[in-house]
Copies of this chain bind each other. A is one copy, B any other.
């Protein structure tokens, strides 16, 4: 039964990541469509904040597991 609860916890992490990355990615595309010439700046910010969240998610996954 151990692995099953593990997957539920992992599922919550992915929900968290999905809420965050979906919001970030969706708005990033909206922003590019509005200012195509600012696509570079937007993609930079998207990757910074995306990496911050991705790091938090994998950090929690590994710290929560050990």
Interface residues, chain A, CB within 8 Å of chain B? Answer: 1-39, 41-43, 45-50, 52-54, 56-66
Q: Which of A1, A33, A36: most chain B Cβ within 10 A? A: A33
Distance between Cα atoms of A47 and B12 in the complex (Å):
23
Distance between Cα atoms of A22 and B58 in the complex (Å):
16
Tallying the copies of this chain within the complex gives 14
Majority secondary structure, A binding face: helix
Residues of B within 8 A of A17 (CB): 14, 16, 18, 20, 53, 56-57
Q: Can you list 11 A-B pairs, Cβ within 8 angstroms, ordered by A?
A: A1-B5, A10-B60, A10-B63, A11-B16, A21-B52, A21-B53, A23-B23, A24-B25, A24-B29, A30-B33, A57-B60
